[in-house]
Amino acid sequence: MVTGIDSFKEWFKGSEEQYAIIGGTACDILMTEEGLDFRATKDIDLVLIIEAVDANFGKKFWEYVKQAGYEHCNKSSGVPQFYRFSHPISNQYPAMIELFTRKLDAIQFPEDAVLTPLPMDKDISSLSAILLDDDYYEFLKQGKVTVDGVTVLDAAYLIPFKAKAWMDLTDRKAAGEHVDSKNIKKHKNDVFRLTELIDPTAKIVAPQGVYADIQEFVQRMKNENVDIKQLGLVGRTKEKILEELKAMYETL
């Protein structure tokens, strides 16, 4: 389980509709719920649901930041806004919280809040671009679930985000940008691990853009090496998993 998630859950009780956790922490929470192990992850990727955020959320969030004693409090410029809080005073709190909002100043921090400028790395800028896409944002709102008191993106909805991140980072690296290969591999492996949690006969209606991307991902994976055995996917094959993913998503 992600370090500090219990204090986060307790503090934000009653605010479950105002955010969604995505990324590795969502994977970890979903896997743990089913008694499965997941790779170590230290940061919470938090997306604000701008239609649901109330004026009190920023105050409540900043009080949590102060209580946790985060040493570094950073804010990016531009849209979407991205905040990073890291190095808390103890492991009662998440090692890092990364907060995304599609709208400038959707979250109002107190006047005494001090935030230093933050340059975005490739993984963050990739996720930011995905969240700016209307299709993906609507899909995110559609796929929120509450697991053990914390709002996360459900596995079948998380998979397209991971697939899109893999394609984006792969394309950036191919274009000559410096992208950590470990991050690329991480997203790919997460897609396949998450398939352990979904009903292969389920049907998920996705916006056109999301649907097109998952179909492209399936096609591109046919030429990718995926170590199914190493991922612990017993009795399954890459081909069968891709076939199930291709059939699962529909669009109107």
**Burial of residue 44 (number of CB atoms within 10 Å: 0-12, 13-18, 19+):** buried
CA 155 to CA 157: how far, in whole Å?
A: 5
Question: Considering Cα of 39, then 12, then 121, then 42, what sign does the dihedral take?
Answer: negative
Query: What pLDDT, on a 0 to 100 scale, did the predictor assign at position 49?
Result: 92
What are the tens digits of pLDDT across the range 92-120? 999 999 999 888 677 878 888 888 887 76
Query: What pLDDT, on a 0 to 100 scale, did the predictor assign at position 175?
Result: 94
pTM: 0.92
Domain residue ranges of the chain, discontinuous segments joined by +: 1-153, 154-252
Query: What pLDDT, on a 0 to 100 scale, did the predictor assign at position 208?
Result: 97
Question: At the top level of CATH, which class does the domain 1-153 belong to?
Answer: alpha beta
What are the tens digits of pLDDT across the range 63-74? 999 999 999 999
Residues of the chain under the 50 pLDDT cut = none
Query: What pLDDT, on a 0 to 100 scale, did the predictor assign at position 120?
Result: 63
